[in-house]
Structure 1
Amino acid sequence: SLSSVSPLSVCLPVCLSDLYFRFNDVAYRWIALDNWTYTTTFSASTELRYFQLVFEGVDTVASISLNGVVVGKTDNMFRRYDFSVGQLLREGQNVVKVSLLSPVVYASERSRDHSSYRVPPDCPPPVQKGECHVNFIRKVSRFNSWELTSSFQLIVFIPCSSSSCLPDSSLSQWVVKVEVLVDAVEETKVEFNLSLMELSTEQSFTVLFPSGQSKNTFSLHVNTVSIHPIPFIPLCINPKVYFRTVELVQEPIAGSPGLSFYFRVNKKPIFLKGSNWIPAHALQDLVSPAENLLQSSVDANMNALRVWGGGVYEQDLFYSLCDEMGIMIWQDFMFACAMYPTDPDFIETVREEVGQQVRRLKSHPSVIVWSGNNENEAALATDWFGIPVAQQPRYHRDYVTLYVDNIRAVVQKEDGSRPFLVSSPTNGAESQQEGWVAHDPYDVHYGDTHYYSYSHACWDWTALPRTRFASEYGFQSWPSFSTLQKVSVSEDWSYGSNFSSHRQHHQTGNQQMLQQAGLHYRLPDSADPLKRYKDTLYITQVMQAQCVKVQTEFYRRSQSEVIEGKGHTMGALYWQLNDIWQGPSWSSIEFGGKWKMLHYFAKDFFSPVLPVGFEDQGSLVVYAVSDLSHDLHLRTVVLYEWSSLDPVCTVASGLVLVEGGSAEVIHKQPITALLAGCGGGSCTRLTCLLTFHLEDVNSQQGPINHLFLGSPKNAQRMLRPNITAEVQQDETGRYTVALKSSAVAAFVWLDVGDVPGRFSTNGFLMTTRNRTVTFNPWGPTSTQQLTRALTVTSLRDVY
Structure 2
Amino acid sequence: FVLLCLYFGVLSGFSAVTEQKQTESLNGKWSLSNSDGSVSLPAQVPGCVHSALHQQGFIQDPYFRFNDLSYRWIAFDNWTYTTIFTVSAQLRSKQKVLLVFDGADTVASVWLNGITVGKMNNMFQRYVNMLKDGDNVLKVSFLSPVLYAAEQRKAHSAYRVPPECPPDVQKGECHVNFIRKEQSSFSWDWGPSFPTMGLWKEVRLEAFDVLHLIQVSSVPLYSASDILIVQNVKCFVFYIILQSVQVKLWWPNGHGNQPFYQMTVRGFQDEYLILNTETKVYFRTVELVQEPIVGSPGLSFYFRINGKPVFLKGSNWIPAHSFQDQVTPAVLKNLLQSAVDANMNALRVWGGGVYEQDLFYSICDELGIMVWQDFMFACAMYPTENAFIQTVREEVAQQVQRLKSHPSIIIWSGNNENEAALATDWFNISVSQRPTYIKDYVTLYVNNIRKIVQDEDHSRPFLVSSPTNGVESEQEGWVAANPYDTHYGDTHFYSYVLDCWDWTTFPRTRFASEYGFQSWPSFSTLQPVSVKEDWSYGSNFTSHRQHHEDGNQQMMKQAALHFNLPNSTEPLKRFRDTLYITQVMQAQCVKTQTEFYRRSQSEIIDGRGHTMGALYWQLNDIWQAPSWSSIEFGGKWKMLHYFAQNFFAAVLPVGFEDDNTLLIYAVSDLDHNLMLRTVVTVYSWADLGPVCTLKSDLVSVPGGSAMATFKQPVAALLAGCGRCTRLTCLLTFHLEDPSSVQQGPTNHLFLCSPKEAQGLQRPNITVSVHEYKTDYTITLHSAAVAPFVWLDVGNIPGRFSSNGFLMVSRNVTVSFNPWRPTSVAELSKSLTITSLRDVY
Q: How would you bin the TM-score normalised by the shorter chain? A: over 0.9
Amino acid paired to 2:393 = R
The residue that corresponds to 1:794 in the other structure is 835
Match 2:121 to one of 71, 75, 81: 75
Deviations 1:347-383 (A, max 9, x none): 0000000000000000000000000000000000000
**8 Å contact kept, 1:149–1:283:** no
Aligned-partner SS, 2:588: helix
Q: Does 1:574 align with 2:616?
A: yes
Match of 2:570? Answer: 528
* C-alpha contact 1:559 1:569 (8 A) present in aligned 2: yes
Per-residue CA deviations over 1:602-637 (Å, capped at 9, x if unaligned) read 000000000000010000000000000111011111
Q: Indicate if the aligned counterparts of 2:777 and 2:815 stay in contact, CA closer than 8 A.
A: yes
Which residue is 2:440 aligned to? 398
- Partner of 2:289 in structure 1? 249
Q: Deviations over 1:630-689 (max 9, x none)?
A: 1101111111111111100000000000000000000000000000000x2x11111110
Give the letter aligned to residue 406 of structure 1. Answer: N
1:148-171 alpha-carbon deviations (Å, 9 max, x no partner): 2314112224644468999x9xxx
> Counterparts of 2:510 and 2:70 in 1: how far apart (Å)?
45
Whether the aligned pair in 2 keeps the contact of 1:745 and 1:796 (CA below 8 Å) is yes
* Residues 646 and 165 (structure 1), Cα distance of their counterparts in 2 relative to 1, 3 Å cut: farther
| Alpha-carbon separation, structure 2, partners of 1:696 and 1:18 | 54
Distance 1:653 1:174, change over 3 A: farther
1:759 equivalent in structure 2: 800
- Structure 1 contact 3–156 (Cα < 8 Å) conserved: yes
Task: Describe how 1:583-598 pairs up with structure 2 within 5 A.
Answer: 583-598=625-640
Shift of 1:42: 2.0
Partners of 2:295 and 2:165 in 1: CA distance: 45
Alpha-carbon spacing, 1:180–1:140, altered in 2? closer, same or farther (3 Å): farther
Name whichever of 157-166 and 93-102 sits farther off.
157-166
Task: Please report how far the alpha carbon of residue 538 of structure 1 lies from its aligned counterpart in structure 2 after TM superposition.
Answer: 0.1
The TM-score normalised by the length of structure 2 is 0.88
Task: List gaps (5 residues or longer) in structure 1.
Answer: 182-187, 200-222
Cα deviation per residue 1:691-716 (whole Å; 9 max; x = unaligned)?
00000012000000000000000111
State the AA in 2 paired with 1:239: T
Quote the residue 2:149 is aligned against: 107
User: Aligned partners of 1:154, 1:45: CA distance in 2, in Å?
Assistant: 10
2:276 pairs with 1:236: no
Residue 661 (structure 1) aligns with: 704
When residues 627 and 126 of structure 1 are mapped into structure 2, their CA distance, relative to the original with a 3 A threshold, is same
CA deviations over 1:697-752 (Å, ceiling 9, x no partner):
1200000000000000011100111101111012x232110110011100000000
* 2:46 aligned partner: 9
Asked whether 1:513 is paired with 2:555, we answer yes
The CA deviation at 1:286 is 2.1
Native 8 Å contact 2:250 2:407 kept in 1 = no
Task: Report how many residues are paired.
Answer: 758
Q: What is the match of residue 627 of structure 1?
A: 669
Task: Tell me the percent identity.
Answer: 67
1:153 aligns with 204
SS in 1 for 2:712: strand
> Distance between the aligned counterparts of 1:162 and 1:475, measured in 2?
45
- Give the C-alpha shift of residue 495 in structure 1: 0.4
Alignment equivalent of 1:309, drawn from 348, 351, 369: 351
* Secondary structure of the corresponding residue to residue 239 of structure 2: strand
Q: Which whole-Å CA distance do the structure 2 matches of 1:771 and 1:191 have between them?
A: 64
- Are the aligned partners of 1:370 and 1:421 in contact in 2 as well (CA < 8 Å)? yes
Distance 1:568 1:101, change over 3 A: same
Rounded Cα–Cα distance in structure 1 between residues aligned with 2:826 and 2:572: 22
Aligned counterparts, 1:438-449, within 5 A: 438-449=480-491
For the residues of structure 2 that align with 1:177 and 1:526, how far apart are their CA atoms?
74
CA contact (8 A) 2:594 2:647 kept: yes
Q: CA deviation at 1:235?
A: 3.0
> Which of 69, 92, 110 is the matching residue for 1:26?
69
Superposed CA deviations along residues 77-110 of structure 1, whole A, max 9, x for unmatched, are: 010111111x2x31xx422101000000000000
State how far apart, in whole Å, the 1-side matches of 2:458 and 2:235 are: 28
Report deviation, 1:11.
Answer: 4.0
**Partner AA of 1:94 in structure 2:** N
Give the superposition deviation at 1:57: 2.0
Please state if 1:670 is matched with 2:713: yes
Query: Does the aligned pair in 2 maintain the 1:638–1:649 contact within 8 Å?
Result: yes
| CA–CA distance in structure 2, aligned partners of residues 59 and 174 of structure 1 | 45
Distance (Å, rounded) in 2 between the aligned partners of 1:579 and 1:225? 36
> What residue is the counterpart of 2:790 in the other structure?
749
Shift of the 224–287 alpha-carbon distance from structure 1 to 2, 3 Å rule, reads closer
What residue number does 1:123 align with?
165
Equivalent positions of 1:79-228 (< 5 A) are: 79-85=125-131, 87=132, 89-90=133-134, 93-143=135-185, 144-150=193-199, 151=201, 152-157=203-208, 159-161=213-215, 191-199=237-245
Cα shift at 1:225 = 9.2
Superposed CA offset, 1:255-296 (max 9, x none): 100000000000000000000000000110122221100000
The one-letter code of the counterpart of 2:260 is P
8 Å contact kept, 1:234–1:243: yes
Alignment deviations for residues 742-792 of structure 1 (CA, whole Å, 9 cap, x no partner)? 111000000000101000000000111111100011111111111111000
What is the alpha-carbon distance in structure 1 between the residues aligned to residue 226 and residue 575 of structure 2?
A: 59
CA deviations over 1:276-328 (Å, ceiling 9, x no partner): 00000011012222110000000000000000001000000000000000000
What SS does the corresponding residue of 2:136 show, helix, strand or coil? strand
Partner of 2:733: 692
| Separation (CA, whole Å) in 1 of partners of 2:195 and 2:428 | 31
- What letter is aligned with 2:663? V
1:56-84 deviations in Å (ceiling 9; x for gaps) = 22110000011211110000001011111
Match of 2:301 in 1: 261
- Equivalent pair of 1:232/1:243 in contact (CA under 8 Å): no
Moved more, 272-281 or 643-652: 643-652
Question: SS of 2:432's equivalent?
Answer: helix
1:11, 1:711 → 2: CA distance? 50
**Residue 401 (structure 2) aligns with:** 359
Deviation readout 1:425-466 (Å, 9 max, x if unpaired): 000000000000000000000000000000110001011100
Rounded Cα–Cα distance in structure 1 between residues aligned with 2:803 and 2:100? 47
CA distance in 1, matches of 2:205, 2:631: 38
Q: Provide the rounded CA distance (Å) in 1 between the counterparts of 2:160 and 2:627.
A: 31
Structure-1 separation of matches of 2:529 and 2:574: 19
Match in the other structure for 2:692: 649
Aligned counterparts of 2:591 and 2:93: Cα–Cα separation in 1: 61
Q: Distance in 1 between matches of 2:766 and 2:226?
A: 59
Alignment of 1:726-737 (within 5 A): 726-730=768-772, 732-737=773-778
Do structure 1's residue 546 and structure 2's residue 588 form an aligned pair? Answer: yes
Structure-2 change in CA distance of 1:291 and 1:733 (3 Å)? closer
Q: CA deviation at 1:17?
A: 1.1
Question: Once the two structures are superposed, what CA deviation does each residue of 1:574-603 show, in whole Å capped at 9, x if it has no partner?
Answer: 000000000000000000000000000000
The verdict on how the C-alpha distance between 1:177 and 1:230 changes in structure 2, with shifts beyond 3 A counting, is farther
Q: Do the aligned partners of residues 564 and 684 (structure 1) sit closer, same or farther apart at CA in structure 2, a change above 3 Å counting?
A: same
| SS of alignment partner, residue 112 of structure 1 | helix
1:185 is matched with which residue? none
1:420 — aligned with what? 462
Q: Distance in 2 between matches of 1:512 and 1:197?
A: 57
1:263 is aligned with what amino acid? F
Distance 1:245 1:317 in 2: 22
Alignment of 1:376-525 (within 5 A): 376-525=418-567
Asked if structure 2 preserves the Cα contact closer than 8 Å seen for 1:57 and 1:80, the reply is yes
